[in-house]
Amino acid sequence: MACLSDATLIAYNEGGLGAIAAAQARDHLLLCPDCRRAAATFRALDLILAKPVLYEPPPRLVPQVTERLFPAAARVTSIAAAIAASFVFLVSWIYIYFDFSSSSLVQALRLTANGTSGWLADVIRGITAIYNGAQAVAKALGALLRIVLPAPLGTIVALLALSSLLAVTLFRPWLRKARAKRS
């Protein structure tokens, strides 16, 4: 009987021959050392191929994808900082262009607090304390702004810049995600 072809040997190793063909191949292999050696080579090759040499991907591969697909939400601190900055500048601006020296609202609140007790008085004291703090900061910044931004146009530009900063801080994660999806 002629020697078995490579294709037959490979199929035999994989159990891919029909019953009769497999029996014939087995009989031939018993008698033919060359075919036995070739079959053994294909078996060895199969074993080697079954354990592939895999490449190690660079460590940055997955984090880069993750970062682009799921950009981190804007950090609470940066949002708070942007809101606080905007608030202070807004109060400063109001302080420059409106006269709050009488602080009638605060006076009224103080009087109310004096006449009441319990949690309501505490709340009113808290509000007036915050107002006083903001007023102090605003007063200082207002003085600075008067020097730096004497014209209303300058103040508007400053406010627009702050609003943009706030918007970018808040919406950056969504903008980056949308960009990643588009690309």
State which of residues 18, 57, 115, 118 lies at the interface with another protein (CB under 8 A).
Answer: 57
Single out the segment in contact with another protein by CB under 8 A; choices: 28-36, 54-62, 80-88, 135-143.
Answer: 54-62
Window 11-30: contact mask with another protein (x via CB under 8 A)? x----x--------------
Distances (CA, A) of 8 to 19, 35, 36, 134: 13, 10, 12, 88
Residue 54 or residue 153: which is nearer to another protein going by CB?
54
Per CB under 8 A, 38 contacts another protein: yes
Residue 162 or residue 180: which is nearer to another protein going by CB?
180
Beta carbon of residue 166, minimum distance to another protein (angstroms, whole number): 25
Query: What end-to-end distance do the CA atoms of the chain give, in Å?
Result: 62
State which of residues 22, 29, 32, 42 lies at the interface with another protein (CB under 8 A).
Answer: 42
Per CB under 8 A, 35 contacts another protein: no
**Which residue is associated with the tokens 């490579």?**
6
